[in-house]
Structure 1
Amino acid sequence: MSRYLCHTEPDCFNFEANVLARRPNAVLLDRSFFYPGGGGQLADRGTLQWNGGQVKISRVEMEGGNAWHCFDEADIGATPAETVTASVDPEFRSLMSQLHTGLHILNALVYQRFEGSLVTGVQMAADGTARIDFDLPEVDNNDLRKLEPELNTLISDGLQVNALYLDAAALAREPGVLRSRSVAPPPQGDGTTRIIEIVGLDRQACGGTHLTKTSQSAPLRILKIENKGQHNRRIRIGLVK
Protein backbone atom coordinates (compact mmCIF):
# COMPACT_ATOMS: atom_id res chain seq x y z
CA MET A 1 0.00 0.00 0.00
CA SER A 2 1.12 3.58 -0.63
CA ARG A 3 1.15 5.99 2.30
CA TYR A 4 -2.25 7.35 3.26
CA LEU A 5 -2.61 11.10 2.77
CA CYS A 6 -4.14 11.31 6.26
CA HIS A 7 -0.72 10.16 7.54
CA THR A 8 1.40 12.50 5.46
CA GLU A 9 -0.90 15.53 6.00
CA PRO A 10 -2.83 14.75 9.19
CA ASP A 11 -4.23 18.28 9.57
CA CYS A 12 -5.93 18.37 6.16
CA PHE A 13 -9.67 18.04 6.75
CA ASN A 14 -11.01 19.80 3.64
CA PHE A 15 -9.98 19.09 0.06
CA GLU A 16 -11.23 18.95 -3.52
CA ALA A 17 -11.28 15.71 -5.47
CA ASN A 18 -12.48 14.28 -8.76
CA VAL A 19 -14.89 11.36 -8.93
CA LEU A 20 -13.23 8.47 -10.78
CA ALA A 21 -16.00 5.88 -10.49
CA ARG A 22 -19.46 5.46 -9.03
CA ARG A 23 -21.76 2.78 -7.72
CA PRO A 24 -25.22 3.06 -6.13
CA ASN A 25 -24.07 4.06 -2.65
CA ALA A 26 -20.44 5.14 -3.06
CA VAL A 27 -17.86 6.98 -5.11
CA LEU A 28 -14.17 6.47 -5.77
CA LEU A 29 -12.10 9.67 -5.58
CA ASP A 30 -8.81 10.49 -7.27
CA ARG A 31 -7.39 11.41 -3.83
CA SER A 32 -8.62 11.23 -0.26
CA PHE A 33 -7.55 12.36 3.20
CA PHE A 34 -10.10 10.03 4.87
CA TYR A 35 -8.61 7.32 7.06
CA PRO A 36 -10.20 4.13 5.66
CA GLY A 37 -10.24 2.20 8.92
CA GLY A 38 -8.29 -0.85 10.01
CA GLY A 39 -6.54 -2.36 13.00
CA GLY A 40 -9.68 -1.99 15.09
CA GLN A 41 -10.08 1.72 14.29
CA LEU A 42 -13.23 2.98 12.58
CA ALA A 43 -12.96 4.86 9.29
CA ASP A 44 -13.24 8.63 9.21
CA ARG A 45 -16.63 10.22 8.71
CA GLY A 46 -17.48 13.42 6.87
CA THR A 47 -19.24 14.90 3.86
CA LEU A 48 -18.96 15.38 0.10
CA GLN A 49 -20.40 18.61 -1.30
CA TRP A 50 -20.97 19.90 -4.82
CA ASN A 51 -23.06 22.57 -6.47
CA GLY A 52 -26.58 21.52 -5.60
CA GLY A 53 -25.93 18.61 -3.27
CA GLN A 54 -24.28 17.01 -0.29
CA VAL A 55 -23.93 13.49 1.12
CA LYS A 56 -22.64 12.20 4.42
CA ILE A 57 -19.81 9.69 4.33
CA SER A 58 -20.50 7.04 6.93
CA ARG A 59 -17.70 4.59 6.13
CA VAL A 60 -14.90 3.83 3.69
CA GLU A 61 -14.60 0.41 2.05
CA MET A 62 -11.20 -0.70 0.77
CA GLU A 63 -11.15 -2.94 -2.31
CA GLY A 64 -7.63 -3.65 -3.38
CA GLY A 65 -5.96 -0.26 -3.32
CA ASN A 66 -9.22 1.61 -3.91
CA ALA A 67 -11.06 3.50 -1.16
CA TRP A 68 -14.81 3.69 -1.84
CA HIS A 69 -16.48 6.51 0.10
CA CYS A 70 -19.88 5.18 1.13
CA PHE A 71 -22.96 7.34 1.68
CA ASP A 72 -25.10 7.49 4.76
CA GLU A 73 -28.28 5.46 4.25
CA ALA A 74 -30.36 8.64 4.02
CA ASP A 75 -28.28 9.77 1.03
CA ILE A 76 -28.29 6.57 -1.02
CA GLY A 77 -29.36 7.42 -4.56
CA ALA A 78 -27.64 10.82 -4.59
CA THR A 79 -25.39 11.58 -7.57
CA PRO A 80 -22.28 13.61 -6.73
CA ALA A 81 -20.87 15.87 -9.46
CA GLU A 82 -17.60 15.16 -11.26
CA THR A 83 -15.73 17.39 -8.79
CA VAL A 84 -16.57 17.48 -5.08
CA THR A 85 -15.40 19.25 -1.96
CA ALA A 86 -14.74 16.70 0.77
CA SER A 87 -14.66 17.35 4.51
CA VAL A 88 -13.35 14.96 7.14
CA ASP A 89 -15.11 15.25 10.52
CA PRO A 90 -12.28 16.52 12.78
CA GLU A 91 -14.11 15.67 16.02
CA PHE A 92 -14.56 12.03 15.04
CA ARG A 93 -10.92 11.82 13.88
CA SER A 94 -9.87 13.27 17.25
CA LEU A 95 -12.03 10.74 19.11
CA MET A 96 -10.45 7.82 17.26
CA SER A 97 -6.95 9.29 17.66
CA GLN A 98 -7.41 9.72 21.41
CA LEU A 99 -8.59 6.15 21.81
CA HIS A 100 -5.84 4.76 19.59
CA THR A 101 -3.08 6.68 21.36
CA GLY A 102 -4.48 5.65 24.74
CA LEU A 103 -4.51 2.01 23.66
CA HIS A 104 -0.84 2.31 22.70
CA ILE A 105 0.00 3.63 26.16
CA LEU A 106 -1.96 0.82 27.83
CA ASN A 107 -0.35 -1.69 25.47
CA ALA A 108 3.10 -0.38 26.43
CA LEU A 109 2.39 -0.72 30.16
CA VAL A 110 1.07 -4.27 29.81
CA TYR A 111 3.98 -5.26 27.54
CA GLN A 112 6.53 -3.87 30.00
CA ARG A 113 4.91 -5.17 33.20
CA PHE A 114 3.78 -8.60 32.09
CA GLU A 115 6.63 -10.24 30.20
CA GLY A 116 5.95 -9.00 26.69
CA SER A 117 2.32 -10.06 26.51
CA LEU A 118 0.98 -9.78 22.94
CA VAL A 119 -2.28 -8.29 21.69
CA THR A 120 -4.94 -10.68 20.37
CA GLY A 121 -7.60 -8.16 19.36
CA VAL A 122 -8.57 -4.46 19.37
CA GLN A 123 -11.77 -2.56 18.65
CA MET A 124 -12.61 1.13 19.03
CA ALA A 125 -16.18 2.41 19.17
CA ALA A 126 -17.92 5.65 18.23
CA ASP A 127 -19.14 6.15 21.81
CA GLY A 128 -15.61 6.86 23.08
CA THR A 129 -14.90 3.37 24.39
CA ALA A 130 -12.53 0.68 23.22
CA ARG A 131 -11.39 -2.79 24.12
CA ILE A 132 -8.03 -4.50 23.80
CA ASP A 133 -7.37 -8.21 24.31
CA PHE A 134 -4.08 -9.61 25.60
CA ASP A 135 -2.63 -13.08 25.91
CA LEU A 136 -2.47 -12.93 29.73
CA PRO A 137 -3.43 -16.33 31.18
CA GLU A 138 -2.12 -15.89 34.73
CA VAL A 139 -2.41 -12.19 35.60
CA ASP A 140 -4.70 -11.03 38.40
CA ASN A 141 -7.33 -8.58 37.13
CA ASN A 142 -6.63 -6.27 40.06
CA ASP A 143 -3.04 -5.88 38.86
CA LEU A 144 -4.38 -4.70 35.51
CA ARG A 145 -6.76 -2.24 37.17
CA LYS A 146 -3.79 -0.70 39.00
CA LEU A 147 -2.45 0.51 35.64
CA GLU A 148 -5.09 3.25 35.37
CA PRO A 149 -3.29 5.95 37.41
CA GLU A 150 -0.03 5.49 35.48
CA LEU A 151 -1.95 5.44 32.21
CA ASN A 152 -3.41 8.86 33.00
CA THR A 153 -0.12 10.24 34.29
CA LEU A 154 1.46 9.39 30.94
CA ILE A 155 -1.44 11.08 29.15
CA SER A 156 -1.06 14.28 31.18
CA ASP A 157 2.74 14.27 30.78
CA GLY A 158 2.33 15.37 27.17
CA LEU A 159 4.73 12.88 25.62
CA GLN A 160 5.54 13.53 21.96
CA VAL A 161 3.99 11.07 19.50
CA ASN A 162 5.89 10.55 16.23
CA ALA A 163 5.44 8.41 13.14
CA LEU A 164 8.47 6.89 11.42
CA TYR A 165 9.11 4.16 8.87
CA LEU A 166 11.46 1.20 9.28
CA ASP A 167 12.78 -0.99 6.50
CA ALA A 168 12.89 -4.78 6.92
CA ALA A 169 16.42 -4.79 8.32
CA ALA A 170 15.66 -2.14 10.95
CA LEU A 171 12.38 -3.88 11.83
CA ALA A 172 14.26 -7.14 12.45
CA ARG A 173 16.51 -5.34 14.94
CA GLU A 174 13.45 -4.26 16.97
CA PRO A 175 11.35 -7.39 17.50
CA GLY A 176 9.26 -5.68 20.19
CA VAL A 177 7.62 -3.29 17.74
CA LEU A 178 5.32 -6.02 16.41
CA ARG A 179 2.81 -6.49 19.23
CA SER A 180 -0.02 -8.48 17.68
CA ARG A 181 -0.02 -12.26 17.97
CA SER A 182 -1.62 -12.79 14.55
CA VAL A 183 -1.55 -9.65 12.36
CA ALA A 184 0.78 -6.80 11.42
CA PRO A 185 0.21 -3.52 9.55
CA PRO A 186 0.65 -4.01 5.81
CA PRO A 187 3.97 -2.69 4.48
CA GLN A 188 4.13 0.61 2.61
CA GLY A 189 4.72 0.73 -1.12
CA ASP A 190 8.45 1.11 -0.51
CA GLY A 191 8.54 -1.94 1.75
CA THR A 192 8.83 -0.03 5.01
CA THR A 193 6.56 -0.47 8.06
CA ARG A 194 4.96 2.48 9.85
CA ILE A 195 5.95 2.81 13.51
CA ILE A 196 4.25 4.96 16.15
CA GLU A 197 6.71 6.20 18.76
CA ILE A 198 5.59 7.67 22.07
CA VAL A 199 8.87 9.30 22.99
CA GLY A 200 10.47 7.82 26.08
CA LEU A 201 7.80 5.13 26.42
CA ASP A 202 7.10 2.94 23.40
CA ARG A 203 7.56 2.09 19.72
CA GLN A 204 5.18 -0.22 17.89
CA ALA A 205 3.97 -0.88 14.37
CA CYS A 206 0.62 0.72 13.57
CA GLY A 207 -1.36 2.02 10.59
CA GLY A 208 -3.89 4.14 12.47
CA THR A 209 -4.25 7.83 13.32
CA HIS A 210 -2.79 9.29 16.50
CA LEU A 211 -2.36 12.46 18.49
CA THR A 212 0.88 14.46 18.32
CA LYS A 213 1.10 14.72 22.13
CA THR A 214 -0.47 12.43 24.70
CA SER A 215 -1.88 15.43 26.61
CA GLN A 216 -4.25 16.14 23.71
CA SER A 217 -6.33 13.23 25.05
CA ALA A 218 -8.96 13.27 27.73
CA PRO A 219 -8.21 10.98 30.70
CA LEU A 220 -9.09 7.30 30.34
CA ARG A 221 -10.92 5.01 32.71
CA ILE A 222 -10.59 1.24 32.85
CA LEU A 223 -14.25 0.25 32.66
CA LYS A 224 -14.10 -3.52 32.84
CA ILE A 225 -11.72 -6.47 32.71
CA GLU A 226 -12.98 -9.81 31.42
CA ASN A 227 -11.56 -13.28 30.97
CA LYS A 228 -12.14 -14.45 27.39
CA GLY A 229 -11.12 -18.09 27.19
CA GLN A 230 -8.11 -19.65 28.87
CA HIS A 231 -5.60 -17.07 27.68
CA ASN A 232 -7.33 -13.86 26.58
CA ARG A 233 -7.84 -10.99 28.99
CA ARG A 234 -10.04 -8.15 27.69
CA ILE A 235 -9.60 -4.63 29.03
CA ARG A 236 -12.36 -2.12 28.24
CA ILE A 237 -11.50 1.56 28.48
CA GLY A 238 -13.42 4.81 27.98
CA LEU A 239 -12.61 8.48 27.60
CA VAL A 240 -13.66 10.57 30.58
CA LYS A 241 -16.14 13.15 29.29
Structure 2
Amino acid sequence: MTQSGETVKVSDTRRCRESGRVLHILDEPAVSLNPGDSVTLELDWERRYAHMRMHTCLHLLCAVIPESVTGGGMTDQKGRLDFCLKDGLPDKQQLTDALNDLIAKDLPVSVEMLDESILDEQPELVKTMSVQPPRGAGQLRMIRVHETDFQPCGGTHVTRTGEIGPVRVARVESKGKQNKRVQIVFDRTTVKESEQ
Protein backbone atom coordinates (compact mmCIF):
# COMPACT_ATOMS: atom_id res chain seq x y z
CA MET A 1 0.00 0.00 0.00
CA THR A 2 1.33 3.46 -0.91
CA GLN A 3 1.18 6.68 1.08
CA SER A 4 -1.86 7.72 -0.95
CA GLY A 5 -3.71 4.54 0.06
CA GLU A 6 -3.39 2.85 -3.34
CA THR A 7 -2.92 -0.91 -3.40
CA VAL A 8 -0.83 -2.41 -6.19
CA LYS A 9 0.23 -5.95 -6.87
CA VAL A 10 3.85 -6.82 -7.57
CA SER A 11 3.51 -9.53 -10.21
CA ASP A 12 7.21 -10.27 -10.68
CA THR A 13 10.73 -9.26 -9.72
CA ARG A 14 13.78 -9.09 -11.93
CA ARG A 15 17.41 -8.14 -11.38
CA CYS A 16 18.55 -5.19 -13.49
CA ARG A 17 21.57 -6.34 -15.50
CA GLU A 18 23.17 -2.89 -15.50
CA SER A 19 22.72 -1.86 -11.86
CA GLY A 20 22.20 -5.23 -10.15
CA ARG A 21 19.20 -3.76 -8.30
CA VAL A 22 15.96 -5.70 -7.87
CA LEU A 23 13.14 -4.35 -10.02
CA HIS A 24 9.54 -4.81 -8.90
CA ILE A 25 7.17 -5.34 -11.83
CA LEU A 26 3.73 -3.94 -11.00
CA ASP A 27 0.39 -5.15 -12.34
CA GLU A 28 -0.70 -1.51 -12.62
CA PRO A 29 2.23 0.48 -13.99
CA ALA A 30 0.15 3.70 -13.97
CA VAL A 31 0.27 3.92 -10.15
CA SER A 32 1.99 7.03 -8.90
CA LEU A 33 5.14 5.85 -7.12
CA ASN A 34 8.31 7.87 -6.96
CA PRO A 35 11.78 6.93 -5.77
CA GLY A 36 11.91 7.24 -1.99
CA ASP A 37 8.13 6.79 -1.45
CA SER A 38 7.22 4.67 1.56
CA VAL A 39 5.14 1.56 0.91
CA THR A 40 3.83 -1.26 3.06
CA LEU A 41 4.44 -4.78 1.80
CA GLU A 42 1.93 -7.56 2.31
CA LEU A 43 3.34 -10.96 1.37
CA ASP A 44 1.07 -13.51 -0.33
CA TRP A 45 2.20 -16.26 2.03
CA GLU A 46 0.19 -19.07 0.41
CA ARG A 47 1.80 -18.41 -2.98
CA ARG A 48 5.25 -17.92 -1.45
CA TYR A 49 5.02 -21.16 0.52
CA ALA A 50 3.93 -23.06 -2.62
CA HIS A 51 7.02 -21.70 -4.39
CA MET A 52 9.20 -22.81 -1.45
CA ARG A 53 7.71 -26.31 -1.58
CA MET A 54 8.11 -26.65 -5.36
CA HIS A 55 11.63 -25.21 -5.37
CA THR A 56 12.76 -27.67 -2.71
CA CYS A 57 11.16 -30.50 -4.69
CA LEU A 58 13.25 -29.51 -7.72
CA HIS A 59 16.34 -29.98 -5.55
CA LEU A 60 15.10 -33.50 -4.83
CA LEU A 61 14.64 -34.08 -8.55
CA CYS A 62 18.33 -33.17 -9.02
CA ALA A 63 19.16 -35.95 -6.56
CA VAL A 64 16.87 -38.47 -8.26
CA ILE A 65 18.33 -37.62 -11.69
CA PRO A 66 22.01 -36.85 -10.94
CA GLU A 67 22.79 -35.36 -14.35
CA SER A 68 23.51 -31.83 -15.59
CA VAL A 69 20.55 -29.45 -15.68
CA THR A 70 20.14 -27.57 -18.96
CA GLY A 71 17.14 -25.43 -17.99
CA GLY A 72 14.21 -25.06 -15.67
CA GLY A 73 11.19 -23.10 -14.61
CA MET A 74 8.72 -22.95 -11.77
CA THR A 75 5.37 -21.54 -10.69
CA ASP A 76 3.43 -22.01 -7.49
CA GLN A 77 1.65 -24.98 -9.11
CA LYS A 78 4.32 -26.81 -11.10
CA GLY A 79 8.02 -27.01 -11.80
CA ARG A 80 10.25 -28.42 -14.50
CA LEU A 81 13.88 -29.24 -15.02
CA ASP A 82 15.60 -30.15 -18.27
CA PHE A 83 18.40 -32.68 -17.99
CA CYS A 84 21.21 -33.71 -20.29
CA LEU A 85 20.33 -37.41 -20.67
CA LYS A 86 21.68 -39.67 -23.38
CA ASP A 87 19.73 -42.84 -22.66
CA GLY A 88 16.03 -42.28 -23.38
CA LEU A 89 13.30 -40.94 -21.15
CA PRO A 90 13.09 -41.70 -17.43
CA ASP A 91 9.97 -43.50 -16.21
CA LYS A 92 7.32 -41.14 -14.78
CA GLN A 93 6.09 -43.52 -12.10
CA GLN A 94 9.60 -44.41 -10.92
CA LEU A 95 10.45 -40.71 -10.65
CA THR A 96 7.19 -39.99 -8.81
CA ASP A 97 7.85 -42.82 -6.34
CA ALA A 98 11.45 -41.73 -5.74
CA LEU A 99 10.45 -38.12 -5.11
CA ASN A 100 7.62 -39.05 -2.75
CA ASP A 101 9.96 -41.41 -0.86
CA LEU A 102 12.41 -38.52 -0.24
CA ILE A 103 9.54 -36.23 0.76
CA ALA A 104 8.18 -38.82 3.20
CA LYS A 105 11.61 -39.10 4.88
CA ASP A 106 11.04 -35.53 6.14
CA LEU A 107 14.72 -34.67 5.63
CA PRO A 108 16.06 -31.40 7.04
CA VAL A 109 16.86 -28.62 4.57
CA SER A 110 19.51 -26.11 5.64
CA VAL A 111 21.28 -23.00 4.37
CA GLU A 112 25.06 -22.73 4.64
CA MET A 113 27.34 -19.85 3.71
CA LEU A 114 30.65 -21.15 2.40
CA ASP A 115 33.74 -19.64 0.83
CA GLU A 116 33.19 -19.47 -2.91
CA SER A 117 36.45 -21.36 -3.46
CA ILE A 118 34.45 -24.53 -2.77
CA LEU A 119 33.40 -24.39 -6.45
CA ASP A 120 37.03 -24.43 -7.53
CA GLU A 121 37.56 -27.54 -5.42
CA GLN A 122 34.18 -29.16 -6.25
CA PRO A 123 32.82 -27.76 -9.55
CA GLU A 124 30.31 -30.64 -9.71
CA LEU A 125 28.28 -28.87 -7.00
CA VAL A 126 26.90 -26.59 -9.74
CA LYS A 127 24.16 -28.66 -11.38
CA THR A 128 23.11 -26.10 -13.99
CA MET A 129 25.05 -25.94 -17.23
CA SER A 130 23.91 -22.50 -18.38
CA VAL A 131 23.69 -20.58 -15.08
CA GLN A 132 26.62 -20.17 -12.74
CA PRO A 133 26.28 -18.86 -9.19
CA PRO A 134 27.46 -15.27 -8.68
CA ARG A 135 31.06 -15.00 -7.57
CA GLY A 136 33.18 -12.18 -6.30
CA ALA A 137 31.55 -11.55 -2.91
CA GLY A 138 33.64 -14.25 -1.23
CA GLN A 139 30.73 -16.29 0.12
CA LEU A 140 28.22 -18.57 -1.57
CA ARG A 141 24.77 -19.49 -0.29
CA MET A 142 24.49 -23.27 -0.36
CA ILE A 143 21.35 -25.38 0.14
CA ARG A 144 21.71 -28.80 1.72
CA VAL A 145 18.97 -31.42 1.72
CA HIS A 146 20.30 -33.89 4.30
CA GLU A 147 22.42 -36.57 2.57
CA THR A 148 20.50 -35.98 -0.66
CA ASP A 149 21.42 -32.73 -2.44
CA PHE A 150 23.95 -29.94 -1.91
CA GLN A 151 24.30 -27.05 -4.33
CA PRO A 152 24.53 -23.25 -4.56
CA CYS A 153 21.10 -21.62 -4.61
CA GLY A 154 19.62 -18.24 -3.79
CA GLY A 155 15.97 -19.33 -3.72
CA THR A 156 13.45 -19.93 -0.98
CA HIS A 157 13.01 -23.41 0.51
CA VAL A 158 11.06 -25.25 3.16
CA THR A 159 12.88 -26.43 6.30
CA ARG A 160 12.00 -30.13 5.90
CA THR A 161 11.11 -32.19 2.83
CA GLY A 162 7.88 -33.40 4.47
CA GLU A 163 6.47 -29.89 4.01
CA ILE A 164 6.46 -30.37 0.22
CA GLY A 165 3.53 -32.77 0.32
CA PRO A 166 2.72 -35.38 -2.34
CA VAL A 167 3.88 -34.69 -5.88
CA ARG A 168 3.44 -36.33 -9.24
CA VAL A 169 5.60 -36.33 -12.34
CA ALA A 170 3.07 -35.05 -14.85
CA ARG A 171 5.20 -35.21 -17.97
CA VAL A 172 8.53 -36.51 -19.23
CA GLU A 173 9.42 -35.49 -22.76
CA SER A 174 12.30 -35.16 -25.14
CA LYS A 175 13.35 -31.62 -26.01
CA GLY A 176 16.25 -32.57 -28.26
CA LYS A 177 18.79 -35.30 -28.80
CA GLN A 178 20.00 -35.28 -25.18
CA ASN A 179 17.69 -32.73 -23.54
CA LYS A 180 14.89 -34.37 -21.52
CA ARG A 181 12.25 -32.37 -19.65
CA VAL A 182 10.62 -33.53 -16.40
CA GLN A 183 7.57 -31.64 -15.12
CA ILE A 184 6.35 -32.00 -11.52
CA VAL A 185 2.99 -30.95 -10.08
CA PHE A 186 1.57 -31.07 -6.58
CA ASP A 187 -0.56 -34.21 -6.35
CA ARG A 188 -3.95 -32.72 -5.46
CA THR A 189 -5.65 -36.13 -5.78
CA THR A 190 -3.63 -37.59 -2.92
CA VAL A 191 -4.23 -34.48 -0.81
CA LYS A 192 -8.01 -34.59 -1.42
CA GLU A 193 -8.18 -38.30 -0.59
CA SER A 194 -6.23 -37.80 2.66
CA GLU A 195 -8.52 -34.96 3.73
CA GLN A 196 -11.64 -37.16 3.46
* Alignment TM-score > 0.5, same fold: yes
- Greater per-residue strand proportion: 1
CA contact (8 A) 2:89 2:172 kept: no
CA contact (8 A) 1:54 1:80 kept: no
Cα distance per residue 1:88-145 (max 9 Å; x no partner): 211111111111100100111111xxxxx1000001124x111110000114432x54
Cα distance per residue 1:174-230 (max 9 Å; x no partner): 33311112221223x632222110012110111211111111112110011101111
* Aligned-residue offset at 1:51: 4.6
Equivalent position of 2:65 in the other structure: 110
In structure 2, C-alpha distance between the alignment counterparts of 1:121 and 1:152, rounded to whole Å: 23
- 1:179 aligns to 2:127 (yes or no): yes
Equivalent position of 2:72 in the other structure: 122
- 1:161 aligns to 2:109 (yes or no): yes
Indicate how the Cα distance of structure 1 residues 228 and 54 shifts in structure 2: closer, same or farther if over 3 A, else same. Answer: same
* Aligned-residue offset at 1:59: 1.3
Indicate how the Cα distance of structure 1 residues 140 and 184 shifts in structure 2: closer, same or farther if over 3 A, else same. Answer: same
Q: Percent identity?
A: 34
CA contact (8 A) 1:50 1:80 kept: no
* Aligned-residue offset at 1:86: 1.1
Equivalent position of 2:191 in the other structure: none
* Structure 1 gap ranges (5+): 1-47, 112-116
Matched residue type, 1:125: T
Q: Give 4+ residue runs of structure 1 displaced > 3 Å after superposition.
A: 48-51
Indicate how the Cα distance of structure 1 residues 229 and 58 shifts in structure 2: closer, same or farther if over 3 A, else same. Answer: same
Picking from 157, 176, 197, the partner of 2:144 is 197
Matched residue type, 2:119: L
What TM-score does the superposition give when structure 2 sets the normalisation length? 0.85
Equivalent position of 2:12 in the other structure: 59
What TM-score does the superposition give when structure 1 sets the normalisation length? 0.70
Matched residue type, 1:217: I
In structure 2, C-alpha distance between the alignment counterparts of 1:141 and 1:156, rounded to whole Å: 21
In structure 2, C-alpha distance between the alignment counterparts of 1:178 and 1:227, rounded to whole Å: 23
* Aligned-residue offset at 1:78: 1.7
Cα distance per residue 1:2-32 (max 9 Å; x no partner): xxxxxxxxxxxxxxxxxxxxxxxxxxxxxxx
* Structure 2 gap ranges (5+): 189-196
What RMSD over aligned residues (CA atoms) do the two structures have, in Å? 1.8
In structure 2, C-alpha distance between the alignment counterparts of 1:155 and 1:216, rounded to whole Å: 8
Using CA pairs under 8 Å that are at least 6 residues apart, name the structure with larger relative contact order, 1 or 2: 2
- 1:239 aligns to 2:189 (yes or no): no
Count residues in correspondence.
184
- 1:83 aligns to 2:38 (yes or no): yes
Equivalent position of 1:229 in the other structure: 176
Matched residue type, 1:123: G
